[in-house]
Amino acid sequence: MARKQLIFTVIVFVVFLAGVLFLFRKKIFKKKNKELDMGGAGEVPADMPIFPLKKGSQGKEVEQMQLWLAKNRSATFPKFGMDGKFGAETLSQVEKYLGVKEVPEKMFKDNRMQDFKTKNFK
């Protein structure tokens, strides 16, 4: 009788543990995949080219472009602000004010976007 109760308890515990892992698998794997995609520390890997700046890009150059758009084209970023992340909000402002979906290095330098000092990046 005690052996059956022990086996039942072990089975219930294993099923419970499997259920917990099943519920949290998306969070666990999403975090691991994001770390792999972004070089492990949430940063763009050093060997990844910066230009053209496009949706998904992030970093100092994106924030400089956002600052330039705000100052020179009256662009606004009400939802996320000028955070250095090229998301949907930044894409809509780039399309609206520059007429492109990607900002090539030449456009970035010709407009002297690199002259803007960032708040989030050194």
Listed in sequence order, the DSSP H helices in the chain are 2-37, 60-73, 88-98, 105-110
Residue 113 and residue 69 in contact, taking contact as beta carbons nearer than 8 Å? no
Residue 77 and residue 93 in contact, taking contact as beta carbons nearer than 8 Å? yes
Q: Is the pLDDT of residue 42 over 50?
A: no
- CA-angle at 13, arms to 12 and 15, nearest 5°: 65
For 99, the 3-state DSSP assignment is: coil
Query: Mean of the per-residue pLDDT values for the chain?
Result: 83
For residue 40, name the pLDDT band (cuts at 50, 70, 90).
Answer: very low
For residue 96, name the pLDDT band (cuts at 50, 70, 90).
Answer: very high
Q: Is the pLDDT of residue 34 over 70?
A: no
What is the rounded distance in angstroms from the CA atom of residue 11 to the CA atom of residue 114?
61
Query: What is the model's pTM?
Result: 0.62
